[in-house]
Amino acid sequence: MKRAIISDIHSNLEALEAVLQDIEDQGVNEIYCLGDTVGYGPNPIECIELVRKKVAVCLLGNHDQASLFDPEGFNNSAEKAIFWTREQLENPRIHSANERWDFLNGLPRIHREDDFLYVHGSPRNPLNEYVFQDDIYNEQRMEKLFSVVPKYSFQGHTHVPGIFTEDREFYAPDELNWRYTLGEKKAMINVGSVGQPRDRDPRACYIILEGDTIAYRRVEYPLEATIEKIIPIPELDNYLGQRLREGK
Ligand code: ZN
Protein backbone atom coordinates (compact mmCIF):
# COMPACT_ATOMS: atom_id res chain seq x y z
CA MET A 1 0.00 0.00 0.00
CA LYS A 2 1.55 3.24 -1.13
CA ARG A 3 0.12 6.58 -0.06
CA ALA A 4 1.29 9.86 -1.57
CA ILE A 5 0.99 12.88 0.73
CA ILE A 6 1.00 16.22 -1.02
CA SER A 7 0.48 19.75 0.29
CA ASP A 8 0.54 23.45 -0.61
CA ILE A 9 -0.27 23.18 -4.30
CA HIS A 10 -1.13 26.90 -4.35
CA SER A 11 -2.91 26.98 -7.71
CA ASN A 12 0.22 25.82 -9.53
CA LEU A 13 -1.24 23.51 -12.17
CA GLU A 14 2.05 22.67 -13.91
CA ALA A 15 3.56 21.49 -10.60
CA LEU A 16 0.42 19.55 -9.67
CA GLU A 17 0.24 17.78 -13.03
CA ALA A 18 3.92 16.82 -12.87
CA VAL A 19 3.49 15.46 -9.35
CA LEU A 20 0.35 13.50 -10.27
CA GLN A 21 2.28 11.96 -13.16
CA ASP A 22 5.14 11.01 -10.84
CA ILE A 23 2.63 9.58 -8.36
CA GLU A 24 1.15 7.43 -11.11
CA ASP A 25 4.59 6.29 -12.25
CA GLN A 26 5.41 5.24 -8.68
CA GLY A 27 2.38 2.97 -8.49
CA VAL A 28 0.76 4.87 -5.64
CA ASN A 29 -2.65 3.62 -4.41
CA GLU A 30 -4.04 6.76 -2.85
CA ILE A 31 -3.33 10.44 -2.38
CA TYR A 32 -3.86 12.65 0.67
CA CYS A 33 -3.57 16.44 0.45
CA LEU A 34 -2.76 18.60 3.48
CA GLY A 35 -4.36 21.80 2.20
CA ASP A 36 -3.60 25.13 0.55
CA THR A 37 -4.79 23.87 -2.79
CA VAL A 38 -5.30 27.54 -3.77
CA GLY A 39 -3.64 30.91 -3.15
CA TYR A 40 -0.64 32.62 -4.84
CA GLY A 41 -0.84 30.85 -8.23
CA PRO A 42 -2.75 31.32 -11.48
CA ASN A 43 -4.92 28.14 -11.73
CA PRO A 44 -7.13 27.77 -8.65
CA ILE A 45 -10.10 26.25 -10.46
CA GLU A 46 -8.09 23.66 -12.37
CA CYS A 47 -6.21 22.65 -9.22
CA ILE A 48 -9.40 22.24 -7.20
CA GLU A 49 -10.98 20.16 -9.98
CA LEU A 50 -7.94 17.87 -10.13
CA VAL A 51 -7.75 17.49 -6.36
CA ARG A 52 -11.45 16.65 -6.20
CA LYS A 53 -10.91 13.96 -8.79
CA LYS A 54 -7.67 12.43 -7.53
CA VAL A 55 -7.38 12.93 -3.77
CA ALA A 56 -8.91 10.56 -1.20
CA VAL A 57 -8.52 12.85 1.83
CA CYS A 58 -8.08 16.60 1.49
CA LEU A 59 -7.65 19.05 4.37
CA LEU A 60 -8.44 22.75 4.63
CA GLY A 61 -5.41 25.09 4.53
CA ASN A 62 -5.21 28.68 5.69
CA HIS A 63 -5.31 30.01 2.11
CA ASP A 64 -8.32 27.81 1.31
CA GLN A 65 -10.05 29.14 4.39
CA ALA A 66 -9.17 32.73 3.52
CA SER A 67 -10.68 32.27 0.06
CA LEU A 68 -13.88 31.08 1.68
CA PHE A 69 -14.06 33.68 4.44
CA ASP A 70 -11.99 36.77 5.14
CA PRO A 71 -8.23 36.78 4.92
CA GLU A 72 -6.68 37.61 8.26
CA GLY A 73 -2.99 37.96 8.99
CA PHE A 74 -1.81 37.79 5.38
CA ASN A 75 0.70 40.13 3.80
CA ASN A 76 -0.49 42.46 1.05
CA SER A 77 0.68 40.28 -1.80
CA ALA A 78 -0.94 37.12 -0.39
CA GLU A 79 -4.15 38.99 0.38
CA LYS A 80 -4.46 40.41 -3.14
CA ALA A 81 -3.95 36.89 -4.49
CA ILE A 82 -6.67 35.58 -2.18
CA PHE A 83 -9.25 38.12 -3.38
CA TRP A 84 -8.32 37.33 -6.99
CA THR A 85 -8.62 33.59 -6.21
CA ARG A 86 -12.09 34.12 -4.78
CA GLU A 87 -13.18 35.91 -7.96
CA GLN A 88 -11.92 33.01 -10.06
CA LEU A 89 -13.67 30.41 -7.92
CA GLU A 90 -16.94 32.26 -8.38
CA ASN A 91 -16.58 32.09 -12.14
CA PRO A 92 -19.53 29.99 -13.32
CA ARG A 93 -18.03 29.38 -16.76
CA ILE A 94 -16.02 26.42 -15.56
CA HIS A 95 -18.19 23.84 -13.81
CA SER A 96 -20.36 24.91 -10.94
CA ALA A 97 -19.03 27.54 -8.57
CA ASN A 98 -21.42 26.22 -5.91
CA GLU A 99 -19.88 22.79 -6.11
CA ARG A 100 -16.43 24.29 -5.59
CA TRP A 101 -17.57 26.27 -2.56
CA ASP A 102 -19.27 23.17 -1.15
CA PHE A 103 -16.07 21.22 -1.64
CA LEU A 104 -13.87 23.82 0.09
CA ASN A 105 -16.43 24.37 2.80
CA GLY A 106 -16.61 20.67 3.57
CA LEU A 107 -12.86 20.15 4.01
CA PRO A 108 -11.80 18.96 7.48
CA ARG A 109 -9.01 20.64 9.47
CA ILE A 110 -7.57 17.39 10.75
CA HIS A 111 -7.63 13.77 9.76
CA ARG A 112 -6.62 11.00 12.10
CA GLU A 113 -5.99 7.30 11.49
CA ASP A 114 -4.66 5.39 14.50
CA ASP A 115 -1.11 6.67 15.13
CA PHE A 116 -1.19 9.03 12.18
CA LEU A 117 -2.36 12.61 12.37
CA TYR A 118 -2.72 14.78 9.28
CA VAL A 119 -2.87 18.59 9.53
CA HIS A 120 -1.99 21.61 7.43
CA GLY A 121 -0.10 23.69 10.03
CA SER A 122 0.71 22.03 13.33
CA PRO A 123 -0.76 19.30 15.55
CA ARG A 124 -2.11 21.83 18.05
CA ASN A 125 -3.14 24.57 15.61
CA PRO A 126 -4.06 22.64 12.47
CA LEU A 127 -4.65 25.65 10.27
CA ASN A 128 -2.24 28.42 11.19
CA GLU A 129 0.82 27.45 13.21
CA TYR A 130 4.20 27.29 11.47
CA VAL A 131 6.76 24.80 12.73
CA PHE A 132 10.23 25.74 11.47
CA GLN A 133 13.62 24.14 11.90
CA ASP A 134 14.71 26.72 14.49
CA ASP A 135 11.79 25.78 16.71
CA ILE A 136 13.74 22.72 17.85
CA TYR A 137 15.61 25.11 20.20
CA ASN A 138 12.38 26.03 21.94
CA GLU A 139 12.05 23.12 24.31
CA GLN A 140 8.69 24.14 25.74
CA ARG A 141 7.14 24.64 22.35
CA MET A 142 8.38 21.32 21.01
CA GLU A 143 7.12 19.55 24.12
CA LYS A 144 3.68 21.06 23.67
CA LEU A 145 3.59 20.17 20.01
CA PHE A 146 4.64 16.58 20.58
CA SER A 147 2.18 16.18 23.44
CA VAL A 148 -0.62 16.29 20.84
CA VAL A 149 1.11 14.06 18.28
CA PRO A 150 -0.32 10.53 18.62
CA LYS A 151 2.84 9.05 17.14
CA TYR A 152 3.37 10.65 13.77
CA SER A 153 2.06 13.89 12.37
CA PHE A 154 2.11 14.86 8.71
CA GLN A 155 2.05 18.57 8.01
CA GLY A 156 2.83 21.30 5.48
CA HIS A 157 2.30 25.08 5.68
CA THR A 158 5.97 26.19 5.88
CA HIS A 159 6.76 24.79 2.41
CA VAL A 160 10.02 23.47 3.91
CA PRO A 161 10.24 19.67 3.93
CA GLY A 162 11.89 17.78 6.76
CA ILE A 163 11.42 15.67 9.84
CA PHE A 164 11.23 16.78 13.47
CA THR A 165 11.74 14.09 16.09
CA GLU A 166 10.64 14.23 19.71
CA ASP A 167 14.26 14.45 20.88
CA ARG A 168 14.30 17.85 19.17
CA GLU A 169 16.23 17.04 16.05
CA PHE A 170 15.42 18.29 12.58
CA TYR A 171 16.48 16.44 9.45
CA ALA A 172 16.30 17.94 5.99
CA PRO A 173 15.40 15.31 3.37
CA ASP A 174 18.81 15.35 1.67
CA GLU A 175 20.51 14.69 5.03
CA LEU A 176 18.42 11.53 5.19
CA ASN A 177 19.21 10.53 1.64
CA TRP A 178 15.52 11.25 0.93
CA ARG A 179 14.30 8.38 3.13
CA TYR A 180 13.18 7.99 6.71
CA THR A 181 11.96 4.97 8.60
CA LEU A 182 9.28 5.60 11.19
CA GLY A 183 10.42 4.13 14.48
CA GLU A 184 9.82 4.36 18.21
CA LYS A 185 10.39 8.12 18.31
CA LYS A 186 7.46 10.40 17.73
CA ALA A 187 7.92 12.46 14.58
CA MET A 188 6.40 15.42 12.79
CA ILE A 189 6.91 15.06 9.07
CA ASN A 190 6.73 18.14 6.88
CA VAL A 191 5.93 16.91 3.39
CA GLY A 192 7.06 20.10 1.63
CA SER A 193 5.17 22.00 -1.06
CA VAL A 194 4.04 20.98 -4.52
CA GLY A 195 3.48 24.44 -5.93
CA GLN A 196 5.80 26.81 -4.07
CA PRO A 197 8.81 25.10 -2.47
CA ARG A 198 10.84 27.31 -0.12
CA ASP A 199 13.90 25.21 0.64
CA ARG A 200 15.89 26.62 -2.27
CA ASP A 201 15.12 23.62 -4.41
CA PRO A 202 12.62 24.74 -7.06
CA ARG A 203 11.39 21.21 -7.79
CA ALA A 204 7.93 20.22 -6.55
CA CYS A 205 8.07 18.19 -3.34
CA TYR A 206 5.89 15.47 -1.83
CA ILE A 207 6.27 12.17 0.01
CA ILE A 208 5.29 8.57 -0.45
CA LEU A 209 4.46 6.59 2.68
CA GLU A 210 4.78 2.82 2.31
CA GLY A 211 4.56 0.74 5.47
CA ASP A 212 6.91 2.52 7.88
CA THR A 213 9.04 4.11 5.17
CA ILE A 214 8.82 7.68 3.97
CA ALA A 215 10.37 8.59 0.64
CA TYR A 216 10.73 12.23 -0.34
CA ARG A 217 10.20 12.88 -4.03
CA ARG A 218 11.34 15.95 -5.99
CA VAL A 219 9.78 16.55 -9.36
CA GLU A 220 10.84 19.00 -12.04
CA TYR A 221 8.04 20.85 -13.77
CA PRO A 222 7.87 23.59 -16.42
CA LEU A 223 7.91 26.49 -13.97
CA GLU A 224 8.49 29.09 -16.68
CA ALA A 225 4.99 28.28 -17.96
CA THR A 226 3.56 29.03 -14.51
CA ILE A 227 5.53 32.28 -14.28
CA GLU A 228 4.27 33.34 -17.72
CA LYS A 229 0.71 32.99 -16.49
CA ILE A 230 1.36 34.98 -13.30
CA ILE A 231 3.08 38.00 -14.91
CA PRO A 232 0.04 39.35 -16.86
CA ILE A 233 -2.35 39.01 -13.89
CA PRO A 234 -2.07 42.33 -12.02
CA GLU A 235 -3.50 40.94 -8.79
CA LEU A 236 -0.73 38.33 -8.62
CA ASP A 237 2.59 40.03 -7.84
CA ASN A 238 5.40 39.13 -10.24
CA TYR A 239 7.45 38.08 -7.24
CA LEU A 240 5.06 35.15 -6.75
CA GLY A 241 6.30 33.85 -10.09
CA GLN A 242 9.94 34.78 -9.74
CA ARG A 243 10.32 33.03 -6.41
CA LEU A 244 9.40 29.73 -8.09
CA ARG A 245 12.73 29.82 -9.98
CA GLU A 246 14.70 29.92 -6.76
CA GLY A 247 12.44 27.82 -4.61
CA LYS A 248 12.21 30.36 -1.83
ZN1 ZN B 1 0.89 27.23 1.93
Q: What is the pLDDT of residues 175-199, one digit of tens each?
A: 999 999 999 999 999 999 999 999 9
Distance in Å, CA 40 to ligand 1 centroid: 9
Is the entire prediction scored with pTM above 0.95? yes
Distance in Å, CA 129 to ligand 1 centroid: 11
Distance in Å, CA 158 to ligand 1 centroid: 7
Q: What is the pLDDT of residues 73-106, one digit of tens each?
A: 899 999 999 999 999 988 877 778 888 889 999 9
Q: Are 57 and 120 in contact (CB under 8 A)?
A: no
Determine the Cα–Cα distance for residues 85 and 231; give it in Å rounded to an integer.
15
CA nearest neighbour of 33 among 41, 53, 18: 53
Q: What is the pLDDT of residues 145-176, one digit of tens each?
A: 999 999 999 999 999 999 999 999 999 999 99
Distance in Å, CA 114 to ligand 1 centroid: 26
pLDDT confidence bin for 230, thresholds 50/70/90? very high
* pLDDT the model gives residue 186: 98
Determine the Cα–Cα distance for residues 79 and 67; give it in Å rounded to an integer.
9
